[in-house]
């Protein structure tokens, strides 16, 4: 009965997110969520939002949230776009900036939603291989002048580029949009936001899901030249007038207002990450240098797939990708210190067996 | 600097939603919101949702909500799709079912987002004129076998088709998908949900925004043959894994559980609508027979645009469309009895002047 499906549906190979078990008491280190709750002031604001006014539509412009983001990052409100998580922001951006006539380039090992968006909109792409150390080599993107999307830090490696490297990408590709996907930037990489005034082809995307502990709320944003933001608004307003509900708008604003809490939680995750990495190294793991809230690890003797399964059977969920080049790696999100101690204890038992 | 825009962005003419003033104390009868708050049990559930677990992603499958909808409407869970408002559901459906090779048909006077979706995805369309009484003539859709979308009741007229008329559309167009957009169905029209088992080409969309007073939450859904629902899932999972946040999922489930409140509020709106219509008729207005939570009205002597402006200046917002055939009509959402008394008092002054 596929006669009712459009050709688009026929060609799709949808993205599969990490497992979200709804009931089991797993230690959940598989989808890069923050182990700490949102700020108490965010939760209080959200409780206040649960009221009579839910009968009304949210502000379709999300003016209050755009102003809060603009104020926080010291840009103009017209340089800010907000969406239902950075996934929706990226979905709009692919349609707004990428075409069927020029190949989009991104790393061969990267966020696996990128080729899915390309399939959705029929955008040709070229995967540029990471080097043997699983790092992005920016020179590889300077050979032709065209669109690029790169996560910084990259996922699932966690490795970051510095700002000079990002700038070299922007300079080498002035005729096409370059998206820097900064979902994990708050855990140790340099943001490219400072460059949006200088490069009219730069779009930076971020999210409230990771560093601000609001994955359950769905709020992401983009920053860039006003002309690029206008393109995103046009696509959004041709798709859904109100993708952010009243909770997402109010909660995200409250999150930006509690800077002390944000800094404290961000630094806690970084501290736990660095400690966990050192402990894993001692157990014989190869661990990549991470600027994110996860570690990408591999053991010379114990296959990653087996470790994934054994960890799961002992109540610890991590992410395993059955993909070329990385099928002997595990991506381990950073949990609380107690959760990482439990991980280290279990994994130590597995690799000493 | 439009060199960075895709051809899609260049051709877009985005949808403009009704005004959402953020501060002024208007009587707001312009966007068909429910004048009554969500059920107290919904608000309580939403307050409970504002907690520590917001750090986690929502269930990408929204299994709990799909089960609740399936149970309520007595269909299988696999016949249910959920999205961020019925606008997002429709956006996915246009991409999933409509193609560039066959014209989509819808009424010339209808929900003005339909041609916007067509522009977004480059889908050709044909507007089928309503008759002189602004009614849909189903025979007009039986001349060719192709895709159709029709709101039932229609907007902004409020006029409904009966189930036999809907069935005749489905029978006349067996080779293409027919979407019945039931955003307003709970205010007096017959739902086509009972037909989804019989017609593999039928998709019915509904929303929690109107009859369940949750416009601020963003939750809509579609029902249809499992094969059609699978197409929607494929598109959604190629766009955004989690368009419904934890609040939307929990709040919508709670709304379905409070049937008494739903019936009470729905009937209150219907009663107020009928009373308001009778009063407007007495003032010399022509009012269309409405099965929705709004009235579409016209006065033989007083131009609608002037009335819109004068009502706004007196603190009452209604919707005016500067479009052919309906530029002498106003769409008036049904508010509380007090709000409608105020409207009747002000409008009586205007048309007696």
pLDDT tens sequence across A13-41: 888 887 777 666 899 999 999 999 999 99
Q: How far is CA B334 from CA A91, B36, B39, B290, in A?
A: 36, 10, 18, 11
| pLDDT at residue B228 greater than cutoff 90 | yes
Looking at the structure, do residues B78 and B139 belong to the same domain, yes or no? yes
Looking at the structure, do residues A138 and A88 belong to the same domain, yes or no? yes
Written as one string, the DSSP assignment of B280-301 is: HHHTT-EE---SSSEEEEE-SS
Per the CB < 8 A criterion, the answer to whether B183 and B215 are in contact is no
Looking at the structure, do residues A225 and A287 belong to the same domain, yes or no? no
For residue B90, the surrounding DSSP H or E stretch is helix B85-97
B226 touches chain A (CB under 8 A): no
pLDDT tens sequence across B75-98: 999 999 999 999 999 999 999 999
Amino acid A21: pLDDT: 73
Amino acid A41: pLDDT: 98
Q: Is A329 a domain residue?
A: yes
Contacts A95 to B, Cβ<8 Å: 6, 8-9, 120
| pLDDT at residue B292 greater than cutoff 70 | yes
Domain end residue (candidates: A226, A257, A288)? A257
Q: Out of A53, A119, A235, whose CB is closest to B238? A: A119
Nearest CA to CA, how far is B86 from chain A (Å)? 9
Looking at the structure, do residues B32 and B64 belong to the same domain, yes or no? no
Nearest CA to CA, how far is A133 from chain B (Å)? 30
Eight-class DSSP state of A182 = -
Q: Is A237 a domain residue?
A: yes
Q: Is A70 a domain residue?
A: yes
Q: Is A272 a domain residue?
A: yes
For residue B207, the surrounding DSSP H or E stretch is strand B202-207
ipTM rounded to 2 decimals: 0.96
Q: How far is CA A288 from CA A26, A166, A277, in A?
A: 25, 20, 9
Mean pLDDT estimate for chain A: 96
Amino acid A22: pLDDT: 65
- Phi-psi label, residue B85: left if phi above 0, alpha if psi -120 to 50, beta otherwise: left
Looking at the structure, do residues B309 and B325 belong to the same domain, yes or no? yes
Q: Kindly determine whether residue B241 and residue A17, on different chains, have CB atoms separated by under 8 Å.
A: yes
For residue A148, the surrounding DSSP H or E stretch is strand A148-151
Q: Kindly determine whether residue A234 and residue B12, on different chains, have CB atoms separated by under 8 Å.
A: yes
Q: Which of A1, A6, A84, A123 to mutate to test the interface with B (most CBs of B within 10 A)?
A: A6
Looking at the structure, do residues B243 and B344 belong to the same domain, yes or no? no
| pLDDT at residue A77 greater than cutoff 80 | yes
- CB-count burial class (<10 Å; 0-12, 13-18, 19+) for B336: middle
Chain B residue with the nearest C-alpha to that of A146: B4
Looking at the structure, do residues B274 and B147 belong to the same domain, yes or no? no
Chain A residue with the nearest C-alpha to that of B43: A50
Written as one string, the DSSP assignment of A208-257 is: SSSTTS-TTT--EEEEE-HHHHHHHHHHHTTT-S--S-HHHHHHHHHHHH
A17 touches chain B (CB under 8 A): yes
Q: Is A8 a domain residue?
A: no
| pLDDT at residue B16 greater than cutoff 90 | no
Domain end residue (candidates: A188, A223, A257)? A257
The residue segments making up the domain with residue A27 are 18-37+260-352
| pLDDT at residue B352 greater than cutoff 90 | no
Q: Which two tokens stand for residue B191?
A: 């739902």
Alpha carbons B57 and A213: distance in angstroms, whole number? 10
As a whole number, mean pLDDT of residues A90-95 equals 98
B268 touches chain A (CB under 8 A): no
Name the domain count of chain A: 2
Do strands A316-320 and A27-29 pair parallel, antiparallel, or not at all (unpaired)?
parallel
Q: Whole-angstrom distance between the N-terminal and C-terminal Cα of chain B?
A: 52
Looking at the structure, do residues A167 and A250 belong to the same domain, yes or no? yes
As a whole number, mean pLDDT of residues A197-225 equals 98
Mean pLDDT estimate for chain B: 96
Q: Which of B15, B36, B46, B57 to mutate to test the interface with A (most CBs of A within 10 A)?
A: B57
Which of A266, A255, A195 lies closest to A220 in space, CA to CA? A255
| pLDDT at residue A90 greater than cutoff 90 | yes
Return the C-alpha torsion angle B93, B96, B102, B106, nearest 10: 0
Looking at the structure, do residues B127 and B159 belong to the same domain, yes or no? yes
| pLDDT at residue A188 greater than cutoff 80 | yes
Q: Kindly determine whether residue A239 and residue B201, on different chains, have CB atoms separated by under 8 Å.
A: no
Q: Out of A55, A87, A119, whose CB is closest to B34? A: A55
Domain end residue (candidates: A229, A257, A285)? A257
Q: Is A197 a domain residue?
A: yes
Under 8 Å CB-to-CB from B32, ≥6 apart: which residues?
A: B155, B184, B210, B292, B293, B294, B331, B333
CATH label of the domain that carries residue A276: 3.90.1150.10
Indicate the range of A130-144, A255-269, B35-49 predicted with least confidence.
Answer: A130-144
As a whole number, mean pLDDT of residues A193-209 equals 97
A248 touches chain B (CB under 8 A): yes
Contacts B89 to A, Cβ<8 Å: none
Looking at the structure, do residues A203 and A133 belong to the same domain, yes or no? yes
Q: Which of B24, B63, B240 to mutate to test the interface with A (most CBs of A within 10 A)?
A: B240
Residues above pLDDT 70, as percent of chain B: 99
B1 touches chain A (CB under 8 A): yes
Amino acid B353: pLDDT: 67
pLDDT tens sequence across B166-190: 999 999 999 999 999 999 999 999 9
Looking at the structure, do residues A29 and A116 belong to the same domain, yes or no? no
Q: Kindly determine whether residue B99 and residue A7, on different chains, have CB atoms separated by under 8 Å.
A: yes
Alpha carbons B38 and A50: distance in angstroms, whole number? 10
Q: Kindly determine whether residue B247 and residue A242, on different chains, have CB atoms separated by under 8 Å.
A: no
Contacts A63 to B, Cβ<8 Å: 22
Q: Is A10 a domain residue?
A: no
Q: Is B4 a domain residue?
A: no
B142 touches chain A (CB under 8 A): no
CATH label of the domain that carries residue A48: 3.40.640.10
Eight-class DSSP state of B338 = H
Looking at the structure, do residues A194 and A286 belong to the same domain, yes or no? no
pLDDT tens sequence across A108-142: 999 999 999 999 999 999 999 999 999 999 999 98
Alpha carbons A42 and A33: distance in angstroms, whole number? 17
Q: Kindly determine whether residue B54 and residue A96, on different chains, have CB atoms separated by under 8 Å.
A: no
């Amino acid at each position: 009965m596929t006669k009712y499906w459009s050709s688009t549906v026929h060609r799709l190979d949808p993205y599969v997110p990490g497992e979200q078990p709804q009931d089991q008491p797993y230690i959940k280190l598989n989808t890069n969520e923050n182990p700490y709750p949102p700020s108490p002031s965010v939760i209080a604001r959200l409780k206040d939002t649960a009221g009579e006014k839910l009968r009304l539509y949210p502000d379709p412009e999300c003016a209050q949230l755009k102003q809060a983001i603009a104020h926080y990052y010291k840009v103009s409100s017209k340089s800010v776009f907000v969406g239902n998580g950075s996934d929706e922001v990226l979905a709009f951006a692919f349609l707004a900036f990428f075409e069927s006539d020029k190949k989009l380039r991104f790393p061969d090992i990267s966020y696996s939603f990128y080729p899915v968006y390309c399939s959705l909109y029929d955008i040709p792409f070229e995967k540029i291989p990471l080097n043997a150390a699983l790092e992005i080599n920016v020179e590889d993107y300077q050979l032709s002048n065209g669109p690029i999307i790169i996560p910084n830090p990259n996922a699932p490696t966690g490795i970051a580029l510095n700002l000079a490297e990002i700038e070299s990408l922007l300079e080498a590709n002035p005729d096409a949009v370059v998206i820097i996907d900064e979902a994990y930037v708050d855990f140790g990489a340099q943001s490219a936001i400072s460059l949006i005034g200088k490069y009219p082809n730069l779009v930076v995307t971020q999210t409230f899901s990771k560093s601000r502990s609001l994955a359950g709320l769905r709020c992401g944003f983009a920053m860039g030249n006003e002309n690029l933001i206008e393109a995103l608004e046009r696509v959004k307003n041709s798709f859904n007038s109100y993708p952010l509900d009243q909770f997402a708008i109010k909660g995200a604003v409250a999150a930006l207002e509690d800077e002390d809490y944000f800094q404290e939680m961000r630094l806690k995750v970084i501290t736990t990450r660095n400690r966990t990495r050192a402990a894993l190294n001692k157990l014989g793991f190869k661990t990549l240098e991470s600027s994110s809230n996860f570690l990408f690890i591999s053991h010379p003797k114990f296959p990653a797939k087996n470790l994934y399964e054994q960890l799961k059977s002992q109540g610890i969920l991590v992410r395993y990708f059955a993909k070329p080049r990385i099928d002997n790696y595990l991506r381990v999100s950073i949990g609380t210190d107690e959760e990482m101690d439990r991980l280290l204890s279990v994994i130590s038992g597995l690799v000493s067996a």
